[in-house]
Structure 1
Amino acid sequence: MRALIIVDMQNDFCGGGALPVDGADALAATISRYLESPEARERYAHVVATQDWHIDPGEHFSACPDNQTSWPPHCVAESPGAQFHPALNTDRIEAVFRKGAYSAGYSGFEGSDADGTALGDWLRRHRVASVDVVGVATDHCVRATAVAAFRAGFDTAVLPHLTAGTTTERTIAALAAMRDAGVALAETDQSPRSG
């Protein structure tokens, strides 16, 4: 079975948020359209999502962030910025895995659902062998989640056209790093076509 993991499609990573990623607002709607497509309905037995959900993440938050390991406050638990972007259709999402309560928490595999079940355990319990990863940011949480999925034994692909990164250069580097780590870069029927 295959699952789709939607990474951090939250208000604080979209326009007007604390850490906006260019294109994230449009991406939320694009992911929703993809979820409604016949391809996605047939391809995925399960759909899950991750959320940054910070309570007291220590040095992850900084008044003088370096935007590499420390950041301005974002996705504070229960805040409007931590909520899913309104253009993301959450109807198919079966479970949400919150990460980063008391630490940085880049990978969805560091998170757990409302019952305390870790993402990897949830996927195994539901007999998932393969995952596709989409969302933001390509060069941070998407990369961390995809690499962790592969290392946990899942056949893993990232759908680049359904991700958004912080810069073009960092996105290109992240995609190369994921490919080098064993993660496939895949297309769907919804992929933009050249020519």
Structure 2
Amino acid sequence: MSGVRGLLVVDIQNDFTEGGALGVEGGTQVARDVSAFLAEHHDDYALVIASRDWHDADNDNGGHFATDGEPNFVDTWPVHCVAGTFGAEYHPELDLQHIGVHVKKGRGEPSYSMFEGTTEDGHTVADVLTQHGITEVDVVGIATDHCVRASALDALGVGQKVTILTDLIAAVAPQSGQAALDELAQHGATLHAGN
């Protein structure tokens, strides 16, 4: 018997797609494909939750931004997804009509997992999943090797059954993307094409 399902849409934002501060190749296509998937499958989910990086403009966000030197792309990054800017907005190809809950993360601190963020009224993703009786989640978005990975690991950590929809994600690099998928599978996630 299957449980109540939710969909986690991770960081499909302008700064993480082509032309953005940390643009990922294939990001725009992910936005389009997730929108098409939602148009066809939104009734399969009790709830769709989407996250965005939403960093403070006036500081280095706990060392997350490399404001005094070159970023190492491990712990420090170029300035990206600053609250209220075009880069922080959802990609325009992402259709928001089926998204029920919006989460912002990284406000003043490093943040990769959507589980580190909160809704406008202060609820965590774990809270929202519990409130809606959701026991299994599908995960889509950007980037496979960073925020998708971290969000999926945290979903597993709170007891969710996790499926990564592998045709609805994009990685910074093929090797690190595959390593992230291998790690998630080892921790119990299912890898499955969404369409």
CA offsets 1:102-143 (integer angstroms, 9 cap, x no match): 111100000000000001001100111110000000000000
CA RMSD of aligned residues (A): 0.9
Structure 1 segment 39-54 matched on structure 2, within 5 A? 40-54=41-55
Residue 65 of structure 2 contacts residue 77 of structure 2 at CA under 8 Å; is this kept in 1?
yes
Q: Does 1:8 align with 2:23?
A: no
* 2:177 matches 1:176: no
After TM superposition, the structure 1 stretch with the greater mean CA deviation from structure 2, 49-58 or 126-135, is: 49-58
Q: Which residue of structure 1 lines up, in the alignment, with residue 98 of structure 2?
A: 92
CA deviations on 1:146-182 (whole Å, 9 max, x unpaired) are 0100010111111111000001111110100111111
Alignment-derived partner of residue 20 in structure 1: 23
- Residue from 27, 30, 33 that aligns with 1:30: 33
Amino acid across the alignment from 1:10: Q
Residues 19-61 of structure 1, C-alpha deviation per residue, up to 9 Å, x if partnerless?
0000001110010000011xx1332111110100101412100
Q: Report if aligned partners of 2:136, 2:160 keep a CA contact under 8 Å in 1.
A: yes
Structure 1 outlier segments of 4+, above 3 Å: none
With structure 2 as the length reference, what TM-score do the two structures score?
0.94
Determine helix, strand or coil for the equivalent of 2:175.
Answer: helix
SS of match in other structure, 1:102: coil
- The residue type equivalent to 1:61 in the other structure is F
Number of the residue aligned with 1:66? 72
Identity, in percent, stands at 41
Secondary structure of the equivalent of 2:179?
helix
Structure 2 gaps, min length 5? none
- In structure 1, what is the Cα distance between the partners aligned to 2:150 and 2:163? 13
Alignment of 1:83-122 (within 5 A): 83-122=89-128
Partner Cα separation in structure 2 for residue 69 and residue 182 of structure 1? 26
Match of 1:193 in 2: none
The letter of the residue matching 1:73 is V
SS in 2 for 1:60: coil
Contact 2:46 2:132 in 1 (8 A): no
Partner amino acid, structure 1, of 2:136: S
